A and B are shown apart, each in its own frame.
Chain A
């Protein structure tokens, strides 16, 4: 009877190793792993699982998503960066790849990743309740200027991309607001709808339901070009404030993956990006379908990393 327990354990452990050995052939000859830096269900997870399903068709092998959340993604980024550069481990690359080093979470960034491509972006949007006294970004700013620190603005968490967007707003418009950090945009928007705060900053898609229902109004989109979701809302750049740091989604491998494998991956992702399904997903989830190939994405991500490593220490001291 005593041995029974051990036997059960050994069988279990043995079973979990069965599927590990397969023959190698021309790439890709076995399943790919795509590491997602966030929990199941969020926008990163959706983007990754969708892209995985789309590139699967082209590559002809399964692409399995695995979630490794934690530390703004730093855990997943370092994990992928340490894998063998054989093209069988990929990672989702959100804007945080350009941020985590500046936050001090891990020594990983676009410079030690093999970037494949960028597939979407999500700008920040400043929303207030429908009954709020401000009808434009300018009116909101002048209220904030009149009584510095009086207006309370909810965001999705200290160190999150939406928090940085609001800090950039403070800096560009020379105003002061008081922040109320939440654990995600759904909570910060609920707190705005419930009348507990004056304004909230979130991703364009996150606020759309209540904007369309007339419960929230958009004061500005923090981006260069107008958002397809809010064609009427002015952008920060249009209004003369040159700031805006949209979130984005891309994919990466460890450094040192052979060129021909990267080419193969990039073309698979590009096909996925051009599919009708992807366009539809972007529309439904409030993302802008934007594509950048390998070289363009590398340049862009390095630029972003430099921007955040300069701005973040300054912005965080700005917030006392």
Chain B
């Protein structure tokens, strides 16, 4: 064991390997920070380049990209309300308000620090408990996925703040939009109006860029156009003080834990994990009212969770050969190219290699943190760019990013359409969080309910009570819906 650990460590303690890791982290940060360019894309595009270097060097670069992109995705989420990758949606909910209040530096600092905490926690889980986590992930059959998705959907109410009715409407709109495209079971086209561009459904990333980025620009233009801009305030501190650390401690651990487990479940990644962690933290917090308005706890939970998902996803990928999320799916391909077959045998035959990966990821996490902390001040200054330039920049990057995703013009239209719709919804005081939840979870809920019903041959009760995990999620869903009502009754 210790011998494997040392061999694994020594294999990567070479200047070339660490150099590739650093290059990967920086590239990953660029991919993550630009909306539309995702971690998955970064890893996929650079995979062929690693064919001509050693396995350690290639893997160092690719893991660096993966570990660098997710924290960097939080940067545009905080600065301009556009999540750089889908994983940082919940980071925008509290990070952006915090930045608008003049604490951009602090928000970026927290993003850098707690992303590292999330990654290191999940990497630790990977090192010590890979197989228990993986076998837990395998227990997720269709019914369990349905339970998880249903629970996620029930968070819509919490994400809506005080506007529960409007939030539900937005959520239903999201669920409705999620039905566009090929039917997940029968492959029959739904609401495509004969356009093959819509067969795969409405692309999520452009809609996200539109709803958050473009809509935010339009709202700001409508409110601030032609007005004298207030003099930019001080950047403020980057490092949280002791009291702030204390407040963030529990949310951070909750986030890292939830992120790791949700990340380990195949087909559920950091986006779902961080929303769940955010809402759990809100529910148990004594300062519920602050959430969505710049809560440190909310930011801590979401940053830790979307990064915790990295270790979780890697755990499933390495132990089972089955990816826990999209970037790790691409990493499997990269490993295979270097003659490494992820799967149960990897842990028996290549133990030291597993430790190499663990150390590479840990180094990457620390490196990303340093980059994030060093970059916080200069990046926070981006907010001092005069508004029209900033707005134009967001529209430009949003357009390019939407196109770059699938190289499809239809996605650019989707972005603009979502932006205008998001602007109108914002003006009508409709929260957009539930809409996004509906879009992410709708396909997962629908297809898995239908799969579960195929498995139980149409028996609804048999489906819903088929395993303790399903019952747990159903109970949690019921509780999350009923508790606020009960509390209200008691207080009135």
Chain A, residues 1-23, CB within 8 Å of chain B (1/0): the string is 11011101100100010000000
Interchain CB contact under 8 A, B141 and A194:
yes
A181 within 8 A of B: yes
Interchain CB contact under 8 A, B389 and A5:
yes
CB-defined contacts of A138 to chain B, threshold 8 Å? none
Interchain CB contact under 8 A, A45 and B266:
no
Interchain CB contact under 8 A, A193 and B322:
yes
Report the minimum CB–CB distance from A153 to chain B (whole Å): 11
- Known A40-B330, A69-B200; judge A193-B138 contact (CB<8 A): yes
B460 within 8 A of A: no
Report the minimum CB–CB distance from B382 to chain A (whole Å): 13
- Known A49-B48, A157-B187, A178-B454; judge A66-B407 contact (CB<8 A): yes
Interchain CB contact under 8 A, A209 and B342:
yes
B295 within 8 A of A: no
Interchain CB contact under 8 A, A70 and B406:
yes
Interchain CB contact under 8 A, A212 and B345:
yes
CB-defined contacts of A210 to chain B, threshold 8 Å? 320-321, 343-344
> A4 is contacted by which of B200, B336, B389 (Cβ under 8 Å)?
B389
CB-defined contacts of B44 to chain A, threshold 8 Å? 39-41, 45, 49
CB-defined contacts of A39 to chain B, threshold 8 Å? 40, 44, 406
For chain A, the bracket of interface size reads 35 or more
> A190 is contacted by which of B43, B320, B326, B333 (Cβ under 8 Å)?
B320
A46 within 8 A of B: yes
> A49 is contacted by which of B47, B137, B197, B344 (Cβ under 8 Å)?
B47
> A71 is contacted by which of B196, B226, B333 (Cβ under 8 Å)?
B196
Bound form: Cα–Cα A106–B189 in Å: 13
Q: Which of A46-74 contact B (CB under 8 A)?
A: 46, 49-50, 52-53, 66-72, 74
Bound form: Cα–Cα A75–B392 in Å: 31
CB-defined contacts of B387 to chain A, threshold 8 Å? 1
Bound form: Cα–Cα A40–B139 in Å: 28
Chain B, residues 31-75, CB within 8 Å of chain A (1/0): the string is 000000000110111011001000000000000000000000000
Interchain CB contact under 8 A, B336 and A284:
yes
B232 within 8 A of A: no
Interchain CB contact under 8 A, A212 and B341:
yes
Bound form: Cα–Cα A283–B389 in Å: 52
Bound form: Cα–Cα A5–B186 in Å: 48
Interchain CB contact under 8 A, B43 and A41:
yes
Q: Which of A140-199 contact B (CB under 8 A)?
A: 152, 157-159, 178-183, 186-187, 189-191, 193-197
Report the minimum CB–CB distance from B182 to chain A (whole Å): 8
> B185 is contacted by which of A1, A40, A45, A158 (Cβ under 8 Å)?
A158
Interchain CB contact under 8 A, A189 and B322:
yes
Interchain CB contact under 8 A, A68 and B454:
no
CB-defined contacts of B389 to chain A, threshold 8 Å? 4-5, 8
CB-defined contacts of B142 to chain A, threshold 8 Å? 180, 191, 196
Report the minimum CB–CB distance from B354 to chain A (whole Å): 14
Interchain CB contact under 8 A, B266 and A186:
yes
B484 within 8 A of A: no
> B329 is contacted by which of A41, A69, A72, A208 (Cβ under 8 Å)?
A41
A281 within 8 A of B: yes
Interchain CB contact under 8 A, B392 and A5:
yes
B455 within 8 A of A: yes
- Known A9-B396, A49-B47, A186-B322; judge A70-B408 contact (CB<8 A): yes
Q: Which of B173-199 contact A (CB under 8 A)?
A: 182, 184-187, 196-197, 199
Bound form: Cα–Cα A68–B403 in Å: 10
Bound form: Cα–Cα A107–B137 in Å: 41
B132 within 8 A of A: no
Interchain CB contact under 8 A, A193 and B320:
yes
Bound form: Cα–Cα A50–B334 in Å: 12
> B455 is contacted by which of A45, A152, A158, A187 (Cβ under 8 Å)?
A152
Interchain CB contact under 8 A, B196 and A75:
yes
A105 within 8 A of B: yes
A264 within 8 A of B: no
CB-defined contacts of A263 to chain B, threshold 8 Å? none
Residue among A41, A75, A195, A209 with the most chain B CB within 10 A? A41
Report the minimum CB–CB distance from B418 to chain A (whole Å): 18
Interchain CB contact under 8 A, A183 and B141:
no
Q: Which of B373-419 contact A (CB under 8 A)?
A: 386-389, 391-393, 395-396, 400, 406-408
Interchain CB contact under 8 A, B323 and A71:
no
Q: Which of A193-242 contact B (CB under 8 A)?
A: 193-197, 205, 208-210, 212-213, 215
B230 within 8 A of A: no
Interchain CB contact under 8 A, B196 and A190:
no
Bound form: Cα–Cα A210–B318 in Å: 12
27 A-B pairs (CB sep. < 8 Å) = A1-B387, A5-B391, A8-B388, A8-B393, A39-B406, A41-B330, A43-B333, A46-B47, A49-B47, A66-B407, A68-B406, A68-B407, A68-B408, A69-B200, A75-B196, A105-B196, A159-B182, A181-B184, A190-B266, A190-B322, A194-B138, A194-B139, A210-B343, A212-B345, A213-B345, A281-B337, A285-B337
Name A's B-contacting residues (CB within 8 A). 1-2, 4-6, 8-9, 12, 16, 39-43, 45-46, 49-50, 52-53, 66-72, 74-75, 78, 103, 105-106, 152, 157-159, 178-183, 186-187, 189-191, 193-197, 205, 208-210, 212-213, 215, 277, 281, 284-285
Give 8 nearest A-B pairs by CB, closest first.
A40-B44, A209-B343, A41-B330, A209-B321, A196-B141, A5-B388, A213-B344, A158-B187
Given A41-B329, A209-B343, 8 other A-B residues pairs in contact with their CB atoms under 8 A:
A40-B43, A69-B406, A71-B200, A105-B199, A106-B196, A186-B329, A212-B341, A284-B336
